[in-house]
Structure 1
Amino acid sequence: MTTVSVGRDTPPATEGPPPGPPADRPRPRRRRPHDQPPRWQVLLPLGLYLLFTLIPFYWMLLFALREPGSDSLVPWPVTTEHFEKVWTERSFDTYFVNSVRVGVATMLMTMLVALSGGYALARFRFRLRMPFMLALLCSQFIPGALMLVPLFEVFRELSLLNSLWSVILAETVFQLPLSMILISGFIRNVPPSLEEAAWVDGCSRLRGFRAIVLPLLRPGLVAVGSFAFVHSWNHFLFALMFLNSQDRQTIPVGLNTLIGSDSVDLGALAAGGVVAAVPVVIVFAFIQRWLITGFSAGAVKG
């Protein structure tokens, strides 16, 4: 007896390339992420802003480096006559040293006082804490010119007129409110558990602060210190009111002496502006990384 197996018929195998999309179908284009704009939309505004920022600096360098009486738009041949004039004849060497003393002293005093006050605001809970912080914020709306007469009387009673300490103290007082608020925001970003672990190991509060919190506050301290230094370096009003003799003046007041009642020596004024701007530019070129990190960290909480 023969048996016949009944099953499904399998189609014969065909040779050829595997099936795929039709040759005339275009490939899908890779889409740009929605959060990434085209490159020209980023480079064009940045280029315009850079051009708008650099033109005044170039104009200042042009007047400072080209020869007197020249109207060329390129400083060639280069001359240092204006720098020699302001540095020797106009006593800018003395102004520069005085500005460095005021800026460094203001920076150190602001950092020290703001560090202690900011730690108290961040770690301790006491009555009138929020009204005190509100008063610190409101003090930023008080113009410095409004406090000139009271400060003048205070410094006269303390025999601090015509002394660099009068400018240093005034600058420190006006820098402290914002600096304390920023430092308190930096300290809040440091977990209190780190300090508590140091206390358990036998550290005092001061030693725990120095060993745990202070190293983590480096970006914040750089931000606060640089802000205080630049403000005191560029401030004109306090130095003009509290300092009388020429050997006590700072660079902003020295620049004002270059402007006469009938004429202005543009070359000397531009050279003095370069002398005033270059140190600040150099400092910011070295600390920009810590400065940006510090301001961004202090803006998270507070």
Structure 2
Amino acid sequence: MTAALAETGDRRTAPPAGTPVTPQAPRRRRRTRAFDEVPRWQIYLPLGLYLLFTLVPFYWMLLFALRPAGSTSLVPWPVTFEHFEKVWNERSFGVFFQNSMLVGLATLVTTTVIALSGGYALARFDFRVKNAFMLALLCSQFIPGALMLVPLFEIFRNLRMINSLESVIIAETVFQLPLSIILISGFIKNVPVSLEEAAWVDGCSRLRAFRAVVLPLLRPGLIAVGSFAFVHSWNHFLFALMFLSEQDKQTIPVGLNTLIGADSVDLGALAAGGVIAAVPVVIVFAFIQKWLITGFSAGAVKG
């Protein structure tokens, strides 16, 4: 009797012959149909307003940088580059640009190399104070850089490094390292240890296995960490203002501040300087956008 009931129950619940077993397909079709029925303007209108809100300040900056001095036109015509020539030649923006590029590239290299070694140690080795060290790295992100200006200034003064680009590079690297080490550690954890173990079996040392197996897989993460280190050091104003006093050692953020006078502001020159400061950052993100998204995706999902 039990077998008969089971057989009857099976006949009652079994789908007709030829029916595909996709119970969630109708629900998915309803969701897709509901999304298709949303008017397009409800999607594009908020996106357009957000895009307008984002691009208007950039257009305003380009307008002041490209239109002649004294013009009130809302269209930069006729186009002039007199403001760029003025800030580049008369206001020493060529020197500021070179100093900022040197600080940014040096910070990128030092931060990436040190974070790579520290992140590998946290990802592959176990030691007693590992959790406490990770907690200290996280807590250091809550300390604003302004609180460390006086101690850093005293340290660099005793080391006779005031008014040198090396002091800014060291300060920028120190403040970029905690987050960079945490990110690199997450990227390395996504690389299976079995890949390194296979290289060890083939006769590779730990360093050679790391360079041949792990390092190529970390390219998106390294690009993400390095790009943020470069952009942060390029835009940072406080350290360069405090540690650099001579004009030929200053960076672009400090140079922009010198364009603001006590009684008047040359808006054309200030806008041209802002465009010069923004162009490298835009170029960096335009070229590394694909790697940046891939790196964040690899760091967010643990394999």
Q: TM-score, normalised by structure 2?
A: 0.88
- Runs of 5+ consecutive residues of structure 2 not aligned to the other structure: 1-28
Q: How far, CA to CA, are the matches of 2:33 and 2:228 in structure 1?
A: 37
Aligned to 1:170: 171
| Counterpart secondary structure, 2:71 | coil
Question: Would you tell me which structure has more helix in proportion to its own residues?
Answer: 2
Alignment pair present for 1:136 and 2:153: no
Paired residues for 1:48-197 under 5 Å: 48-197=49-198
Q: How far, CA to CA, are the matches of 2:101 and 2:35 in structure 1?
A: 44
Partner amino acid for 1:44?
L
Q: How far, CA to CA, are the matches of 1:46 and 1:130 in structure 2?
A: 43
Paired residues for 1:1-302 under 5 Å: 31-33=30-32, 36=35, 38=38, 39-301=40-302
Q: TM-score, normalised by structure 1?
A: 0.88
Partner amino acid for 1:281?
V
Displacement, 1:47? Answer: 1.6
Q: How far, CA to CA, are the matches of 2:44 and 2:175 in structure 1?
A: 38
Alignment CA distance shift 1:131-1:41 (3 Å): farther
Q: Once the two structures are superposed, what CA deviation does each residue of 1:224-251 show, in whole Å capped at 9, x if it has no partner?
A: 0000000000000000000010000000
Q: How far, CA to CA, are the matches of 2:211 and 2:47 in structure 1?
A: 41
Aligned to 2:8: none
Q: Once the two structures are superposed, what CA deviation does each residue of 1:184-212 show, in whole Å capped at 9, x if it has no partner?
A: 00001100000000000000000000000
Structure with bigger gyration radius: 1
Q: Once the two structures are superposed, what CA deviation does each residue of 1:251-301 show, in whole Å capped at 9, x if it has no partner?
A: 000000000000000000000000000111011101000011111211224
Aligned residues: 273
| Counterpart secondary structure, 2:301 | coil
Q: Once the two structures are superposed, what CA deviation does each residue of 1:109-131 show, in whole Å capped at 9, x if it has no partner?
A: 00000000000000111111111
Partner amino acid for 1:298?
G
Q: Percent identity?
A: 81
Q: Once the two structures are superposed, what CA deviation does each residue of 1:90-138 show, in whole Å capped at 9, x if it has no partner?
A: 0000000000000000000000000000000001111111111011011
Aligned to 2:12: none
Q: Once the two structures are superposed, what CA deviation does each residue of 1:14-70 show, in whole Å capped at 9, x if it has no partner?
A: xxxxxxxxxxxxxxxx75527846344432322222111100000000000001000
| Counterpart secondary structure, 2:32 | coil
Partner amino acid for 1:291?
L
Q: How far, CA to CA, are the matches of 2:124 and 2:42 in structure 1?
A: 45
Q: How far, CA to CA, are the matches of 2:34 and 2:195 in structure 1?
A: 37
